[in-house]
Structure 1
Amino acid sequence: MNISKAEQRVLHVLALGGLIRHEFDDRGRLSDVTCFTRDGLVLADCDMALFQRLRRRRLIGSLGGAPYRITLKGRRAVRAQPDNQG
């Protein structure tokens, strides 16, 4: 599967325990997404277009309104990266 560097970065953060919180507007439509690392830091390059691509490819998912997390398909698609938390 062809995955861009930005998609890889977000999937790697999610694979390490991060999550994507989503917010709705008053009409019930998805209005904003924020990607958090497991340490609570915000990943700045996760925008709505990137989120929609990951969701459309079913690399991330949400159950019952919970924050979005990486799926099994997403775990298989992400390349291994060295962790800099030494």
Structure 2
Amino acid sequence: MNISRSEQRVLHVLAQGGQIRHRRTDDGRILDVLCVTRDGHVLADCTVEVFAKLRRKRLIESRASSPYRISDKGRRSVRAQLDNR
């Protein structure tokens, strides 16, 4: 599966325990998204377009109206990367 660099960054953050918080309009559309790492930092690469691509490819999911997290398919498709800690 072809995954862009910005999508990979977001998936890595989510795989390490991050989440995507979203805000909806009155008619139910996604207005804006905020990708938060497990440490509480905000990832600037996460835009509404990247979010829509990840959701369309079913790499992220939300359960019971909670923030979006990585799905099992997303865990399998993310490339290995060294943790720079």
Range class of TM-score, shorter chain: over 0.9
Give the match for residue 56 of structure 2: 56
Following TM superposition, by how much is the alpha carbon of 1:29 offset from its aligned partner in structure 2, in angstroms?
1.9
1:46 alignment partner, SS class: coil
Runs of 5+ in structure 1 lacking a partner?
none
What SS is found at the alignment partner of 2:52?
Answer: helix
Report the CA distance between 1:26 and its aligned residue: 2.6
TM-score (norm: length of structure 1): 0.95
Superposed displacement of residue 25, structure 1 = 1.7
Consecutive unaligned residues in structure 2, runs of 5 or more: none
Which amino acid letter does the alignment assign opposite residue 41 of structure 2? L
Question: Which residue of the partner structure matches residue 32 of structure 1?
Answer: 32
User: Which amino acid in structure 1 is aligned with residue 75 of structure 2?
Assistant: R
Distance 1:28 1:3 in 2: 27
Q: What displacement does 1:42 show?
A: 0.3
Work out the number of aligned pairs and report it. 85
- Cα deviations across residues 16-43 of structure 1 (Å, max 9, x unaligned)? 0000001012333211100000000000
Per the alignment, residue 44 of structure 1 pairs with 44
Partner SS, residue 76 of structure 1: helix
